[in-house]
Amino acid sequence: MSKLTDLSYVKSVLAKHSFTFSKALGQNFLINPSVCPRMAEECGCGDSVGVIEIGPGAGVLTNELAKVAYKVVAIELDKRLLPVLEETLSEHDNIKIINGDAMKLDFVKLIEEEFNGGEVVICANLPYYITSPVIMRLLEEKLPINSLTVMVQKEAADRICAQPGTRESGAISAAVNYYSRPEMLFKVSKGSFLPAPKVDSAVIRLHILKEPPVCVQDEKMFFKVVKAAFSQRRKTLSNSLSSGLSVPKQEVTALLDKSGIKSNARAEEMTMEDFAKITNNVHTISK
Ligand code: SAM
């Protein structure tokens, strides 16, 4: 059995390297031994499918990924963890650790260089302070990956997996649903981490779509419309679009009318098709 499922071993290696947890870097390490094997199994990596991990920490998930995938590339921002990972993952010869920032790294180049056109998935217990920006970055870059399996705070997971047009939906639900089919996998209690965060988490999987589910003439405008629509959640769609797009209310009312949407509707009632209709009619307003 791997030593990395033994909490006292992990704690002793961290202590040996005088490691202290950084709240700013979202360092809550998994200590529940059943979570990482399950993530490794469910993320879709394997004999012919490589995996990229963001933020390996002490290497507990990396270790499980390396047992299933033919190759693991893990990106860790905190230099202090490099000697820790060298020690905890020394049994494996299929892991490459890169010291870098997942918000800045060139993933297209990394995938080309490390996986040579082969199949790749991403699997991570994401640092919570960059959950949405990192997910959006990976999706917007249209990387040649099959899926993203990530642990995020439970509330973020609910929002990301919500279907546009339902009460729980937000701008991130529409954006994620444009690029992928999100799926809630399982919940993880806050007691599964060291140190324990204040809230529970959940593992979600985003299956990358080959084509978006709706046809929009201008992708940038689609995301601008979605962002503007949710910018003032409590207001009606016409008010939030008017201020978010800097367009007079009258013109927004005409735009919604043309798109077959009531002007007193709210953003959370909008389906992907509704957002697409609004986007494709934006050119009809004067500004
Ligand atoms: N995978 C480990 C686990 O499950 O125990 C650690 C997960 S911890 C929630 C997040 C990890 O991401 C930390 O190791 C942290 O140092 C790293 N990290 C934070 N910001 C990062 C960034 N911008 N790029 C890459 N890694 C980052």
**Over 70: is that where the pLDDT of 287 sits?**
no
> Residue 283: what pLDDT?
85
Candidate from 77, 88, 153 with most ligand 1 atoms within 8 A of CB, to mutate:
77
> Residue 180: what pLDDT?
98
**Over 60: is that where the pLDDT of 223 sits?**
yes
**Over 70: is that where the pLDDT of 212 sits?**
yes
In ligand 1, the atom with minimum distance to the C-alpha of 27 is 8
Q: What is the pLDDT of residues 80-90, one digit of tens each?
A: 999 999 999 99
Cα 137 to Cα 55, 77, 105, 148, 185: the distances in Å are 16, 17, 11, 12, 22
Answer whether 166's CB lies under 8 Å from 268's CB.
Answer: yes
What lines the ligand 1 site, CB under 6 Å?
Answer: 25-30, 54-57, 60-61, 75-78, 81, 101-103, 125, 127, 130
In ligand 1, the atom with minimum distance to the C-alpha of 25 is 19
pLDDT average, residue stretch 245-259: 94
**Over 80: is that where the pLDDT of 285 sits?**
no
> pTM for the full model?
0.94
**Residue 114: is it exposed, middle or buried by C-beta count within 10 angstroms (0-12/13-18/19+)?**
middle
> Residue 234: what pLDDT?
83
Ligand 1, atom 14: closest residue by C-alpha: 57
pLDDT average, residue stretch 11-37: 97
pLDDT band for position 286 (cuts 50, 70, 90): low
Candidate from 23, 97, 125 with most ligand 1 atoms within 8 A of CB, to mutate:
125
Backbone angles phi, psi at 142, to 5 degrees: 50, 50
Q: What is the pLDDT of residues 27-50, one digit of tens each?
A: 999 999 999 999 999 999 999 999
Mean of pLDDT over the chain = 95
Q: What is the pLDDT of residues 256-267, one digit of tens each?
A: 999 999 989 999
Find the 57 Cα to ligand 1 centroid distance in Å.
5
- Tell me what percent of the residues of the chain surpass a pLDDT of 90: 94
Ligand 1, atom 5: closest residue by C-alpha: 29
Length in residues, the chain = 287
Q: What angle do CA 24, 27, 29 make, to 5 degrees?
A: 170
**Over 90: is that where the pLDDT of 2 sits?**
no
Candidate from 14, 54, 149 with most ligand 1 atoms within 8 A of CB, to mutate:
54
Query: Distance between CA 287 and CA 281 in Å, rounded?
Result: 12
Residue 76, beta-bridge partner list: 99
Q: What is the pLDDT of residues 115-168, one digit of tens each?
A: 998 999 999 999 999 999 999 999 999 999 999 999 999 999 999 999 999 999
Ligand 1, atom 12: closest residue by C-alpha: 55
